[in-house]
């Protein structure tokens, strides 16, 4: 049984498995902030959003009823009953979150909604009850945070009309719309690469330089996380997302130069060992980040000789506010090709619109050819018939990735035989490293625990949680002395 060393921090375990994490009360920068500030805002936003939708439906049905004598145009009471039940559930959760300061809030079990993994979460919660850990502050932090989103899911999935409702979709879409400037700039950048395509594919040094730039573009696409940007309006977040696009062009190559120096040898080895290979690519955030992921994937299969296939992994239900669902993935292509999607003030003049259309049309052709694949559409792995949704449900379970082989053996085998797995975002990084607050000088391979060596992986993450490894102690001490919240700022 693998166990990380116990140092100057407390670790706890999920019962009966190799899993370690830090209790919420010990993490003042991340967990404390999340529980006391972010969660209430996220939940309140859901309640407000459902209220607005209910109001709009009521007004629309009244207008239709007033203009017609057809009784079918009258408001459907079942829809409103479902809405009232959903609001009641969410309000109960909001009240409980407010009680956290008293340390008395008990984590309630999810309703048996028949949706993915409800039994798994409830069984784990029952185990925590036996040890008195069934409070938001005493439960393992990774479990508590994952369970919150599964609980929110249950409030909708046990209804009839709201079952497939994504309470975060509007927020994700609005943020995406306000990233227009960066999106069109990147489309033009990719168009310009076309004239150098032969040089890039034939010259190893040139390819490696461009590859590094693409990695950093993909990395800085991760700088916007809606579960952390709870106080940003659409307009303000638009500025943030657009700034992120500019940042990846102007700042990214320098701001993470130390990381790239440390990893460049490994990345070069990955490229040299893979020609015509498949790559399994992880999805983290919808909107602008998914766009940068698609751009990176496009570069790998279009402009390099090394990769021939990209498999994208979505989440099966709305997860951590901004994570990609299959619906998000499909709507992204439609949105990017729609002349009505982006706000008129952000719509560019010149050739950028055509550049974006050409690029997205190429992506759609890759989907048709099986070059871009959504993991939920997978029908067979290792000559074994499977259901894609069953294969990827591990991603919305509360386990660290240390437990992948024992908890999702077919998924582990699939990744084990892959040529490269790219993990995006902070939650993936936390799960890769067991969600342990390791000493920062701990090597990444040590923090990977049992997962180390299982498959080639590249982890791209801007710091948004206390967990951090592979950093010289002196660098961390210098940043700490400056009072910078470098672990959680995303910078």
Q: Which among 397, 429, 424 is positioned nearest to 411, based on CA atoms?
A: 397
* Size of the chain, expressed as the number of residues it contains: 491
Residues 6 or more apart from 47 whose CB is under 8 A from it?
Answer: 87, 90, 91, 94
Average of per-residue pLDDT across 252-280: 56
Confidence of residue 121 (pLDDT cuts 50, 70, 90): very high
Taking phi over 0 as left and psi of -120 to 50 as alpha, with beta for the rest, 321 belongs to left
Examine the pLDDT at 393 and tell me if it is beyond 60: yes
Examine the pLDDT at 264 and tell me if it is beyond 60: no
Average of per-residue pLDDT across 86-96: 75
Average of per-residue pLDDT across 344-356: 92
Average of per-residue pLDDT across 395-404: 95
Average of per-residue pLDDT across 183-190: 94
Report pLDDT for 176: 94
Percent of the chain at pLDDT > 90 equals 39
Q: Which has the minimum average pLDDT: 234-248, 265-279, 341-355, 433-447?
A: 234-248
Report pLDDT for 276: 66
C-alpha–C-alpha distance, residues 398 and 19, integer Å: 10
Average of per-residue pLDDT across 217-230: 63
Report pLDDT for 259: 47
Confidence of residue 226 (pLDDT cuts 50, 70, 90): low
Confidence of residue 67 (pLDDT cuts 50, 70, 90): low
Q: Which among 329, 348, 342 is positioned nearest to 178, based on CA atoms?
A: 342
What φ, ψ does residue 277 adopt, rounded to 5°? -90, 170
- Candidate ranges 17-31, 89-103, 132-146, 161-175; pick with highest mean pLDDT: 161-175
Average of per-residue pLDDT across 89-95: 75
Confidence of residue 262 (pLDDT cuts 50, 70, 90): very low
Tokens of 459: 């982890």
Confidence of residue 367 (pLDDT cuts 50, 70, 90): very high
Examine the pLDDT at 13 and tell me if it is beyond 60: no
DSSP letter string, 69-119: --GGGS--HHHHHHHHHHHHHHHHHHHHHHGGGGT-PBPPPPP--S-TTHH
Report pLDDT for 36: 78
The per-residue pLDDT of the chain, averaged, comes to: 80
Average of per-residue pLDDT across 150-169: 90
Report pLDDT for 108: 79
Examine the pLDDT at 298 and tell me if it is beyond 90: yes
Confidence of residue 189 (pLDDT cuts 50, 70, 90): very high
Q: Which among 173, 260, 150 is positioned nearest to 216, based on CA atoms?
A: 260
DSSP letter string, 212-254: HHHHHHHHHHTT--TTT-TT--HHHHHHHHHHHHHHHHHTHHH
């Amino acid at each position: 049984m693998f166990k990380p060393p116990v140092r100057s921090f407390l670790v706890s375990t999920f019962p009966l498995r190799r899993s370690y994490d830090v209790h919420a009360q010990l993490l003042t920068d991340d967990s404390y902030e999340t529980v006391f500030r972010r969660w209430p805002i996220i939940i309140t936003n859901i309640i407000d959003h459902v209220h607005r939708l209910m109001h709009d439906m009521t007004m629309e049905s009244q207008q239709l009823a007033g203009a017609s004598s057809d009784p079918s145009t009258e408001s459907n009471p079942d829809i409103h009953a479902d809405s009232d039940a959903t609001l009641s559930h969410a309000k109960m959760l909001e009240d409980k979150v407010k009680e956290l300061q008293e340390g008395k809030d008990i984590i309630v079990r999810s309703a048996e909604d028949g949706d993915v993994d409800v039994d798994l979460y409830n069984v784990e919660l029952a185990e925590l009850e036996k040890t008195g850990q069934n409070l938001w502050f005493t439960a393992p932090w990774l479990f508590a945070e994952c369970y919150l989103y599964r609980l929110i899911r249950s409030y909708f999935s046990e209804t009839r009309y709201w079952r497939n409702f994504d309470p975060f979709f509007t927020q994700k879409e609005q943020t995406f719309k306000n990233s227009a400037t960066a999106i069109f700039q990147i489309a033009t950048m990719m168009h310009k690469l076309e004239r150098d395509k032969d040089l890039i594919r034939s010259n190893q040094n040139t390819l490696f330089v461009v590859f590094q730039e693409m990695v950093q573009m993909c990395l800085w696409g991760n700088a916007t996380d809606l579960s952390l940007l709870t106080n940003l309006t659409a307009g303000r977040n638009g500025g943030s997302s657009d700034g992120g696009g500019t940042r990846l062009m102007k700042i990214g190559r320098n701001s993470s130069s130390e990381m790239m120096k440390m990893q460049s040898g490994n990345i070069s080895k990955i490229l040299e060992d893979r020609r015509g290979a498949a790559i399994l690519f992880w999805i983290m955030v919808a909107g602008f980040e998914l766009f940068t992921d698609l751009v990176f994937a496009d570069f790998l299969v279009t402009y390099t000789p090394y990769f021939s296939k990209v498999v994208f992994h979505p989440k099966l239900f709305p997860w951590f506010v901004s994570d990609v669902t299959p619906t998000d993935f499909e709507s992204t292509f439609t949105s990017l090709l729609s002349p009505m999607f982006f706000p008129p003030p952000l719509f560019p003049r010149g050739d950028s619109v055509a550049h974006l259309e050409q690029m997205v049309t190429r992506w759609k052709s890759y989907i048709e050819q099986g070059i871009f694949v959504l993991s939920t559409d997978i029908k067979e792995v290792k000559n074994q018939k499977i259901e894609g949704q069953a294969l990827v449900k591990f991603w919305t379970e509360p386990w660290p990735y240390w437990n992948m082989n024992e908890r999702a053996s077919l998924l582990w085998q699939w990744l084990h035989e892959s040529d490269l797995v790219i993990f995006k975002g902070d939650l993936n990084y936390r799960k890769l490293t067991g969600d342990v607050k390791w000493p920062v000088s701990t090597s990444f391979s040590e923090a990977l625990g049992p997962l180390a060596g299982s498959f080639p992986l590249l982890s791209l993450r801007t710091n948004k949680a206390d967990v951090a490894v592979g950093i010289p102690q002196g660098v961390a001490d210098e940043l700490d002395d400056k009072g910078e919240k470098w672990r959680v700022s995303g910078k």
